[in-house]
């Protein structure tokens, strides 16, 4: 910036700021001093000190006699560009600003960076979180933590101020010596508490006892504490080091964890997910944490890439590349290292402890993102350092009996692990990406097999209808819905209701995920032409009473299943359709004649899964008119109807939800509906007749569970098409 322009900006901006009293005279003098010392522009310094609200007020404040705003003056005088100022005046949603403020409070971004992100958001229209990730300002894990925090952790600056205030209030140290220590702390970038202890003003224990009264958390002196090493190994080393936490002992179902910031909710949630223990945070000083962690786990490893400096040897045509020996030895060492072995075990155990259904390991530019799918939603739990990423993936592939040298093609595998005296089957799928191999582990919980119809969330009326359908002597019973809507679970629950002592039951699945006692299960394998249709033909010669066809995917399978249903078999199967009526159209489109559809089909269940509100933090509230209009029920709900939501607590990892339940639409075919199908009536006509005959739609069942406070309005809107 030219010297003349710099002087002009310094001359106008400070006078205006002081005039509108958005900052004090002392703050203004301090900003000017920092500007002189740092060489930064005054604008950049003010961006780091003022709130966004104050900056907006500043830019729209009228100055001078011509009624011009400061923004106009700055633009005309060349003190700033329209692009620089535009983001500050944009109509940003409160949630976006709140996210930005949380990230600033945690020290993850500066106000100047937030201003830049807001400008970019104005240009692109993307959500603020996506903009911050695209600009490389935050990682997915940091963003996830910020979004799910109920009570923000205390950032370094506020911790320092809180410590200073406590020391002055308790007259533990005089003002001037304390201010000297604060300045030293800022200059060195050292924790103030550690500096106070080093200087001999107070011992670590004296300072800890003082702060435990202030914060409400017990203090422990780690230099004198005998840490239970078995507790330490419950948490992955990468989490311990990145979060600067240390598990010190177990107390029944609780894990006591020493933390620099006992208010760090996201860290507490992550540890709870990974260990399955209730976390009890205690206060410890930063230097003692670092020293004790290094004493127990060794010095932090250097960040050396696993790949090494040498490239792969050029592969011969049709063969995999050969690993150079040094790199191969390094990979073998990583795969078998205790840290990687323990890390894999911790990730899997953590997923099981948190009732996750899947683990996603996704390579990013700087690390590997680890996420758990809990109640249908993905949650970030940790980031794996880049230097052990390849060793981690290779370890998982070895467990799954997969080829660790094959990284160019997708692979599938599986392994079993016994945890808490229960065996869990893990199905692994890898996918090569531009940043490395992506791995998804499906966790098959044997407890899910034992679900009965009563546990699915069916209302009493719906339960009676479904039970009558599965006890029909013959016919086809379909469960429909998108992927991940719980169709297989419903079919397994139905099979568990049927008497295996008197009936012969065979299933045809791809893949067979759970073993059902007393039932013959067949795995589809297209590689050897063992398809649904071929196996189904063979099963019809096996004197079976009940058949489960995992999915009707083609016309041949659809035709055989329909014929089996009219020749004395009870056939269960699934289809991917948006509602129950469209399943009829899907069968016709697969080539099943209308007369065969009407004679074979007995009933259709269309379903979705919604998250249940956590019972430990459920809070009732009166819905506003806008929300009722959004749900399409502004006039139909009785006056005084209340909804509920989860405000977030440790039991639900501050999500507000715990567990899932089903919402259902059950279509039972009667003579009127069969006539309409034979007459090739439209889906809308069939649906109207079904509703007139007593069918409750998916939307109606969702509203019923909403008003019964089982789920939230957000879940209904996310899961079900809202009828207007």
Domain assignment present for 565: yes
Q: Is the pLDDT of residue 223 over 90?
A: no
In the chain, what are the helix, strand and coil shares in percent, each to the nearest 5?
A: 50, 20, 35
| Phi-psi group of 60: left, alpha or beta (phi > 0 → left; psi -120 to 50 → alpha; rest → beta) | alpha
| Beta strands at 505-509 and 546-549: parallel, antiparallel or unpaired | parallel
Structure tokens at 594: 């209308």
Give 314's pLDDT tier (boundaries 50, 70, 90).
very low
Q: Is beta strand 367-374 parallel, antiparallel or unpaired with respect to 377-385?
A: antiparallel
Q: What CATH number has the domain bearing residue 419?
A: 3.30.450.90
Q: Say yes or no to pLDDT of 249 above 70.
A: yes
For the chain, what is the total number of helices (H) and then of strands (E)?
32, 20
What confidence score (pLDDT) does residue 445 get? 76
The residue written with tokens 């958001």 in the block is: 121
Beta strands at 411-419 and 601-613: parallel, antiparallel or unpaired: unpaired
Residues 35 and 127 in one domain: yes
Biggest CA-to-CA distance, the chain: 97
Whether 129 and 171 map to the same domain: the answer is no
Does the pLDDT at position 568 exceed 80? Answer: yes
Last residue of a domain, one of 247, 280, 297: 297
Kindly state whether residues 19 and 68 are assigned to the same domain.
Answer: yes
Is 672 among the domain residues? yes
Alpha helix segments (H runs only) across 354-432: 386-399
For 58-78, the pLDDT digits (tens) are 554 444 434 555 556 556 655
Domain range enclosing 8: 3-144
Other beta carbons within 10 angstroms of residue 90's beta carbon come to 15
Peptide bond into 511 cis (omega under 30): yes
Half-sphere exposure (CA, 13 Å, Cβ side) for 707? 14
Name the CA dihedral angle for 95, 100, 101, 106, rounded to a multiple of 10 degrees.
130
Please indicate, yes or no, whether residues 502 and 440 belong to a single structural domain of this protein: no
What is the CB-side half-sphere exposure of residue 594 using CA atoms within 13 A?
Answer: 11
Q: What is the mean pLDDT of the chain?
A: 79
Contacts of 148 (CB under 8 A, 6+ apart): 266, 269, 379, 648, 653, 654, 655
Question: H or E element: which one contains 593?
Answer: none
Residue with structure tokens 């224990």?
205
For Cα atoms 90, 93, 95, give the angle at the middle one, nearest 5 degrees. 140
Task: Name the β-bridge partners of 429.
Answer: 412, 440
**Residue found by looking up tokens 């050969």 in the block:** 322
For the entire predicted model, the pTM comes to 0.72
In 39-127, which ranges are continuous DSSP H helix?
A: 42-49, 52-60, 70-76, 82-86, 94-105, 111-124
**CA gap 286, 165 in Å, rounded:** 19
The backbone region for 643, taken as left when phi is positive above 0, alpha when psi lies in -120 to 50, beta otherwise, is beta
- 87 and 201, same domain (yes or no): no
Q: What is the dihedral of CA 353, 357, 362, 368, to 10 degrees?
A: 0
Cβ atoms 104, 114 nearer than 8 A: yes
Helical (H) or strand (E) element with 684? helix 683-692
502 is a domain residue: yes
Residue 15 has pLDDT above 50, yes or no: no
Listed in sequence order, the residues at least 6 apart from 528 whose beta carbon sits closer than 8 Å to its beta carbon are none
pLDDT at 80: 55
| 527 lies in some domain | yes
* Parallel, antiparallel or unpaired: strands 643-646 and 377-385: unpaired
Q: Are 227 and 296 in contact (CB under 8 A)?
A: yes
Spatial CB neighbours of 121, under 8 Å, sequence gap ≥ 6:
87, 90, 92, 96, 127, 128, 131
Domain annotation covers residue 634 = no
pLDDT at 37: 59
| pLDDT exceeds cutoff 50 at 308 | no
- Looking at residue 655, its pLDDT comes to 86
Domain boundary among 276, 297, 318: 297
- The pLDDT, as a whole number, for residue 163 is 77
* pLDDT tens string 415-424: 888 877 778 8
What's the CA gap between 60 and 58, in Å, rounded?
A: 6
Contact call for residues 146 and 103 (beta carbons, < 8 A): yes
Looking at the fold, whether 185 and 280 belong to one and the same domain comes out as yes
Q: Are residues 467 and 523 in the same domain?
A: yes
Q: Which residues lie across from 645 on neighbouring strands?
A: 619
Within this chain, do residues 138 and 220 fall inside the same structural domain, yes or no?
A: no
In the numeric block, the tokens 């603020």 are attached to 128
- pLDDT, tens digit, 9 for 90 and up, residues 24-64: 555 556 666 666 655 555 555 555 544 444 444 455 444 44
pLDDT grade for 87, boundaries at 50, 70 and 90 = very low
CATH number for position 521: 3.40.50.300
Look at residues 143, 169, 723 and name the one whose alpha carbon lies nearest to residue 378: 143
Mean pLDDT score, 209-230: 85
CATH number of domain containing 211: 3.30.300.160
Q: Encode burial over 190-213: b for 16+ CB neighbours within 10 A, e otherwise.
A: ebbbbbbbeeebbebeebbebbbe
pLDDT computed for residue 21 by the predictor:
41
Looking at residue 13, what is its pLDDT? 43
> Is there a single domain that holds both residue 226 and residue 341?
no
Indicate the residue among 282, 297, 312 that finishes a domain: 297
The pLDDT assigned to 653 comes to 83
Residue 627 belongs to a domain:
no
* Beta carbons within 8 Å of 149's beta carbon, 6+ residues apart: 102, 265, 266, 654
Task: Give the CA distances from residue 691 to residues 84, 492, 669, 681, 707, in Å, rounded to whole numbers and listed in that order.
Answer: 57, 28, 12, 15, 21
C-alpha to C-alpha distances, 299 to 296, 339, 341, nearest whole angstrom: 9, 13, 19
Taking the C-alpha atoms of residue 325 and residue 328, their distance in angstroms, rounded to an integer, is 5
Q: Which residue has the tokens 């679900």?
A: 451
- pLDDT tens, residue by residue, 384-397: 888 888 889 999 99
Give the 3-state DSSP-derived string for 91-104, with helices as H, strands as E and coil as C.
Answer: CCCHHHHHHHHHHH
The number of distinct structural domains making up the chain is 4
Q: Pick from 284, 194, 197: which is nearest to 247 by CA? A: 284
DSSP of 341-368:
HHHHHHHHHHHHHTT-SEEEEEE-SSEE
- 419 Cβ partners below 8 Å, 6+ apart? 348, 349, 352
- The token pair at 143 is 């963003």
Residue 48, domain member (yes or no): yes
The secondary structure of 630-675 as a DSSP string is: HHT-TTTSPTT--EEEE---GGGTTSSEEEEEEEEEEEE--HHHHH
- Cα–Cα distance measured from residue 235 to residue 346, given in angstroms and rounded to the nearest whole number: 7
Flag whether 576 is in a domain: yes
Q: What is the pLDDT of residue 255?
A: 94
What pLDDT, on the 0 to 100 scale, is given for residue 335? 55
Q: How far apart are CA 155 and CA 49, in angstroms?
A: 15
* Rg for the chain, CA atoms, rounded: 31
The answer on 124 and 36 residing in a single domain is yes
Q: Which residue spans within 364-410 are E strands per DSSP?
A: 367-374, 377-385
Pairing mode of beta strands 62-63, 68-69? antiparallel
- Among residues 434, 432, 269, the alpha carbon closest in space to that of 364 is found at 434
Same domain, 430 and 371: yes
Indicate if 455 and 534 belong to the same structural domain: yes
């Amino acid at each position: 910036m030219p010297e003349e322009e710099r002087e002009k900006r310094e001359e106008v901006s400070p006078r205006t700021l002081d005039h509108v009293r958005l900052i004090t005279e002392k703050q203004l003098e301090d900003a000017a001093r920092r500007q002189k010392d740092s060489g930064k522009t005054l604008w950049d310094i003010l961006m780091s000190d003022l709130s966004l609200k104050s900056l907006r007020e500043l830019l729209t404040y009228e100055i001078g006699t011509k009624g011009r705003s400061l923004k106009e003056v700055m633009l005309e005088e060349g003190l700033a560009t329209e692009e620089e100022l535009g983001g500050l005046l944009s109509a940003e949603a409160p949630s976006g600003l709140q996210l930005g403020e949380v990230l600033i409070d945690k020290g993850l971004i500066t106000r100047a960076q937030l201003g830049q992100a807001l400008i970019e958001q104005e240009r692109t229209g993307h959500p603020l979180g996506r903009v911050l990730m695209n600009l490389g300002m935050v990682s997915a894990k940091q963003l996830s933590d910020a979004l799910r925090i109920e009570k923000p952790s205390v950032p370094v600056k506020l911790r320092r101020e809180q410590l200073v205030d406590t020391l002055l209030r308790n007259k533990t140290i005089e003002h001037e010596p304390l201010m000297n220590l604060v300045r030293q702390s800022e200059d060195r970038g050292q924790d103030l508490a550690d500096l106070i202890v080093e200087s001999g003003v107070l011992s670590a224990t004296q300072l800890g006892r003082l702060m435990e009264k202030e914060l409400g958390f017990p203090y422990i002196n780690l230099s004198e504490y005998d840490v239970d090493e078995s507790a330490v190994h419950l948490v992955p080393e990468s989490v311990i080091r990145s979060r600067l936490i240390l598990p010190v002992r177990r107390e029944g179902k609780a894990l006591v964890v020493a933390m620099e910031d006992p208010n760090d909710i996201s860290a507490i949630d992550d540890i709870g997910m990974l260990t399955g223990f209730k976390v009890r945070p205690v206060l410890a000083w930063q230097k003692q944490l670092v020293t004790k962690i290094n004493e127990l786990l060794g010095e932090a490893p250097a960040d050396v890439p696993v790949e090494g400096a040498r490239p792969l040897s050029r592969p011969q045509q049709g063969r995999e590349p050969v690993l150079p020996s040094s790199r191969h030895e390094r990979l073998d060492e990583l795969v078998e290292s205790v840290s990687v072995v323990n890390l894999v075990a911790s990730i899997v155990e953590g997923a099981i402890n948190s009732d996750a259904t899947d683990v996603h390991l996704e390579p990013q530019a700087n690390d590997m993102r680890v996420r758990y799918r809990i109640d249908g939603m993905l949650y970030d739990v940790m980031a794996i350092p880049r230097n052990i990423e390849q060793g981690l993936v290779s370890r998982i592939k070895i467990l799954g009996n997969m080829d660790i040298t094959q990284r160019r093609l997708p692979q599938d595998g599986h392994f079993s692990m016994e945890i808490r005296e229960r065996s869990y089957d893990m199905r692994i799928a890898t996918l090569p990406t531009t940043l490395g191999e992506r791995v998804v582990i499906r966790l098959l919980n044997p407890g899910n097999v034992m679900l009965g119809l009563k546990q699915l969330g069916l209302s009493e009326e719906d339960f009676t209808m479904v039970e009558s359908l599965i006890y029909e002597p013959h016919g086809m019973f379909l469960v429909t819905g998108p992927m991940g809507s719980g169709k297989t679970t419903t079919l397994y629950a139905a099979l568990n209701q049927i008497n295996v002592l008197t009936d012969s039951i065979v299933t045809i699945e791809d893949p067979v995920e759970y073993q059902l006692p007393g039932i013959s299960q067949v795995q589809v394998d297209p590689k050897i032409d063992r398809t649904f249709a071929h196996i189904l033909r063979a099963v019809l010669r096996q004197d079976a009473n009940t058949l489960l066809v995992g999915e009707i995917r083609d016309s041949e399978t659809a035709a055989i299943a329909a014929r089996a249903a009219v020749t004395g078999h009870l056939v269960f199967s699934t289809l991917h359709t948006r509602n129950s009526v469209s399943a009829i159209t899907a069968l016709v489109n697969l080539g099943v004649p209308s007369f065969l559809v009407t004679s074979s089909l007995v009933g259709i269940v269309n379903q979705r899964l919604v998250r249940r509100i956590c019972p430990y933090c459920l809070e009732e509230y009166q819905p506003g008119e806008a929300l009722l209009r959004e749900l399409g029920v502004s006039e139909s709900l009785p006056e005084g109807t209340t909804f509920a939501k989860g405000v977030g607590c440790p039991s639900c990892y501050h999500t507000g939800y715990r567990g899932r339940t089903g919402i259902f639409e059950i279509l039972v075919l009667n003579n009127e509906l069969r006539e309409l199908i034979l007459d090739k009536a439209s889906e809308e006509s069939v649906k109207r007749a079904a509703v007139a005959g007593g069918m409750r739609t998916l939307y109606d069942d969702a509203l019923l569970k909403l008003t019964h406070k089982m789920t939230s309005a957000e879940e209904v809107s996310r899961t079900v098409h809202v009828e207007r």
